[in-house]
Amino acid sequence: MKVNGVISGKLKNLDTVLSRLRSLGAVNEQQLEDWVLHSAIERNLQVAVEIVIDICHRLNSLSGRSPAASARDAVEGSVKLGVLNSTDTLSHMLGLRNLVVHRYEYVETQILIDMVNNHLNDFDDFRAKVLDYVSS
């Protein structure tokens, strides 16, 4: 399977979002007292996870699978296709996205700090696995 325009565009958007988040360097609680920065991090992490979900949906669709009923189903479908090894890392991403979307009134600062400081590489790993899959 070749990288199609949709997947390629989404990966470029993911790169942009990750670049923005990385430009912050390591973040701490004091910095996230600034509601603008707190909100910007929340939004960019949400967008990054949404891109991951969209790519999983797209890969499932291109393989001829029935549309996934949920984000979790789309990720599990990508595991079944062999794109991903497991849902472990992405389960954490989905959990963060659900917090941002469904508990929009407040996302704990420590969760955002952990994601920015320790888990942006999880998105890079996802990107690499998608590119490996579509290149094979």
Domains along the chain with CATH numbers: 5-135 (1.20.120.580)
The pLDDT of residue 96: 86
Give the 3-state secondary structure of residue 12. helix
The pLDDT of residue 2: 56
Which residue, chain included where needed, has tokens 């599990």? 76
H-helix or E-strand spanning residue 57: helix 35-62
pLDDT in tens, the chain (136 residues): 555 789 999 999 999 999 999 999 999 999 999 999 999 999 999 999 999 999 999 999 988 888 899 999 999 999 999 999 887 888 888 888 888 888 767 788 999 999 999 999 999 999 999 999 988 8
Tokens for 22, please give them: 């990385």
The pLDDT of residue 1: 53
The pTM for the full model equals 0.92
